[in-house]
Structure 1
Amino acid sequence: MIAYGPMGYDYEPFRHIKGLSILPGVSTYCDITHNQATKATGIKKLLEFYHCDEYICFGDSTNDLEMFKYAKISLCMGQGDPLAKEKATYVIDSIDQDGLYKGCIKIGLI
């Protein structure tokens, strides 16, 4: 689930709800999931279903860190969170500067 609050909203009080994972994004939203369901666990299920061993991912927020952790290559958008940039394989241009397209070229997908 995605929750939205005003810019700068503090989602910290919700982190204490047992069984939930609260992962703020770079703007005004946060992902709310069961604490054992993440982007990475979802990707793992897809990999199993399609008989694949690895994946490449794009992200920009701390809610992407676990997904970055298991990816063959992770790309963080230029407008992304500083910690996400630090953990990504590559930092690419921001979304409004054609970052996705340029990132695909950078890693040889195009």
Structure 2
Amino acid sequence: MSTQFFSKLSQNYIELLKDNEYYDVTIEVGEDPNVKIFRAHMNILCYRSPYLRRNLASNKKNNDNFLVHIKLPNISPEIFQCILEYIYGGILSLNDQDTLDFLKILAAADELCL
């Protein structure tokens, strides 16, 4: 029975990630011409990644706005999408990934201290 609760919770967090309201962080990922901006939530990022916690804390001090913007040029948008779904939902889907993508996911996870 507890598995059902966790799967529903996981699904709710994935829905939160996909929702375009109530986000307070934008994350610019990749390098030109392959750049994408993701929307996220500071509380979730801070508790799931020590790297993002440090990054967000330093950016928050320098930013008086409610929206914090960080850049992660070393991670491609496709890889970060997988990482972000793991951060929010606790699920890492590797079914459609080739070996090189798998290694990039591991490198990104290491960089973000996951």
TM-score bracket for the superposition, by shorter chain length = under 0.3
In terms of fraction of residues, the more helix-rich structure is 2
- Greater relative contact order (Cα < 8 A, sep 6+): 2
In terms of fraction of residues, the more strand-rich structure is 1
